[in-house]
Structure 1
Amino acid sequence: MTTFETYLEGRKGTVLDDDLVTVLGNIAEATRQISDKLRTSALDGLTGATENTNVQGETQKPLDILSNEILLEACRKSPAVSFAVSEELDTEVAIHADGKYAVIFDPLDGSSNLDVNVTVGTIFSVIEAKTPADILKSGRGQMVAAYAAYGPQTSLVITIGAGVQIFTLNDDGVYVMTNADAKIVPDAKEFAINAARRSSWDDVVSAYVENAIDTGHNMRWVGSMVADTHRIFNRGGVFLYPADRNKPAAGGRLRLLYEANPIGFLVEQAGGAAIIGKSTILDIVPTGLHQRVPVIFGSKNEIAKISAEYNAEKVAEPA
C-alpha cells in the first residue's frame, strides 16, 4: 500500500524537497477536512448562499468561504509558503516573508452544484515565487498541480511532472494510491460542453460538436469542472468551454491561474492536450491573477482535430 505521504517521501530529490513535501502534506490534509465538511454540510447548516460576492462577482456559498479558510490555514502551517492566491480573494495573500512557494487554488470548484449533491472539487498548483511578480508566469512554471474530487469517493489526482497519480481517501482518512500512472486515452467518443451557450460558440467549436454528434459521440456535462475532468481521466473525451463570441473582451469563462493551468498540466502529464484555440494553455503568460481564458482539453487525437481547425482559420487568437 502506497500512501500519499510515502509517495512524496519516495520522490524527494526530484522537484520535491523537504519543504515542498510539507506543503503538499498540509494541503492534502486540508482537502480531507473539506471532504469531511461536505459530507455533513446539510446537517451543519452549510447549504444555500451567503450575501457575499467574491472578486469574480459570484455569490459565495458558506462552503466556499470555509474551504478557502481551510486552505489558507494549510498555507500558514507551511513555513515555505510565500503567498496564497485564491479564486475567492482579490489579490495574493502574503504568508511567510522567507517562503519560496506560492500556492494557487480554487477552494471549491463547482460549488453552485453543492445543494444538488453533485461532485465538486479543489484545484491547486504550486510554483516558485518569492515576490508577487513571480506569480505571473506561464503554466510551464508549475512544479505541482492537483485536484481533489469530492464525490462517491474522495480522490486526489496529482502530478509533480512525472506522470499522474491518483489517490483515494480510505475510512481512516488516509490517501492511498489507486492508480500509479493515470492516462487519458487518445481517442474517445464523448464530449462535455454547455449546449445552452451554443449561440456563443465560435465556428470551430460549432463544427466540432456538430460532427461529433453526427459520428455517434455522446455529450456529458456536469457543470463542475473537476467532475467533468475526472470523467475524462477515467474514460477519455473532450471538455470545451470556448470564449463567448458575443463578449470577446471577457477572454473566456475559466480562470487561467487556478483552473486552466493546473488542469492543463495534469492533462498533458496524462498524455492528453489542453489548448485555448491556436495556443497551448501552458504557454500563456498571464497578465493578471484573475485572467480568464477559453479552455479545451482532453483526449490527444480529438484535441489535435480541433487545434488543426483553429490553425487553419485566418482569425484572431482568443484572448
Structure 2
Amino acid sequence: MKKLLAAALFAGAGLAISATGASAQATLAQVKQRGILNCGSNPGLAGFGVPDAQGNWTGLDVDVCRAVAAAIFNDPAKVKFIPLSAKDRFTALQSGEVDLLVRNSTWTMTRDASLGIAFTGVNYYDGQGFMVRKKLGVNSALQLNGASVCTQQGTTTELNLADYFRANNLKYEVVAFATADETIKAYDAGRCDAFTTDASGLYAERLKLAAPDDHIVLPEIISKEPLGPSVRNNDPQWFNLVKWVGYAMLNAEELGVTKANVDQQVKSDNPEIKRLLGTEGKFGEQIGLTTDWVVRIVKLVGNYGESFEKNVGQGSLLKIARGQNALWTKGGLQYAPPVR
C-alpha cells in the first residue's frame, strides 16, 4: 500500500512538474495575447534607460526591449517599461511581473546558477571605475587609501569595491544607499570622497552633478561587468527569441544592413543577408516569429551599431568610444553566431 501511495504521489508530482514546464513555455503566447511586452528597466540611467518628461523611454537597454517588440508585433511601441531598483529587479523577473529584464545587470555565475534566470547575451561590455572631484588631486584609484566611497546596495559594485581595496591593502569607508539616485546625490553633496559604479554609469551619472566638469573618471577598471538582458530560465523558446534578437542586431551591423538601406538589402543576392532578412529559409519560424523578423527589427529600431551610436556613442551626450563593444571584425568583443 505504501509503495502504491508513493508511486501515486510521485506520478502526481511528475504531472505537476510537467504542467509547470508546459505553462512556462507560454511566455511568447502570453505576450501576444496581452498585446504588449512588459520590460524591466532602469528608472533613470542616461544612455541606457530613462524616460523623458512625457514618459518616452530611450536608451541602449530600451532599444533591446523595442527590438523584441518589433520582432513580435512589428511595432516597437508595444512595450510597457517598468522601472525597477537594483534590489527589486530580479524578484520582478522571477515573479513574472516582467517578461524581460534589460537593466544594466551584470552576468555572474551566482545569478546564472541560483536565481532561476538566464542571461541571453551581452549588450554592453563594461567594467567598474571611480569618479572623484578634480580638487581632490587624485589621479589613480590606488591613491584612495582611507577614502569614503559612495556606492549602491545590492549590486556587484559593492562586492567589487571590497575586493579591490582588500587586494591592494587599502583602507576605505563604504557609504551605501538603496538607489542610484540617492547615491549620486550623496556624492554631489560631499558625503563621500569618491563614487563608484560601472564606467558607463559614471559618465551617465556625471551629467546629473551640479558641476559635471569639476569631476574626473579615474583610469582604473577594476572588474568585468558583462551587462545583458535576462529572462526566466524555464522557457527555452522565449530565451532563444530574446537571444537571437540581440544576435540579429549584431549580424545586421556586421553585414551593413541599416535602417536606411534594409528595404534595398532585402533584394540582395548575398546568401548571408538573404538568410538574415528572411528571403531564404524560415529561420524566424524556429523561434516563433515571422520570416521577416530581422527586417522589422532593423527598420524600426536599427542595428546594434546604430543603437550604440545614438544612445551612448559619439552622437550622444555620453560620447563613449566603442572600445570593447566594437564588432569582433574591428577589434571588439561583440560577436554573433550566424543565421544559417
Give the TM-score band, short-chain normalised.
Answer: under 0.3
Between 1 and 2, higher relative CO (CA 8 Å, sep ≥ 6) is seen in 2
**Normalising by the residue count of structure 2, what TM-score does the alignment of the two structures yield?**
0.25
**Normalising by the residue count of structure 1, what TM-score does the alignment of the two structures yield?**
0.27
Q: Which structure has the highest helix share of the two?
A: 2
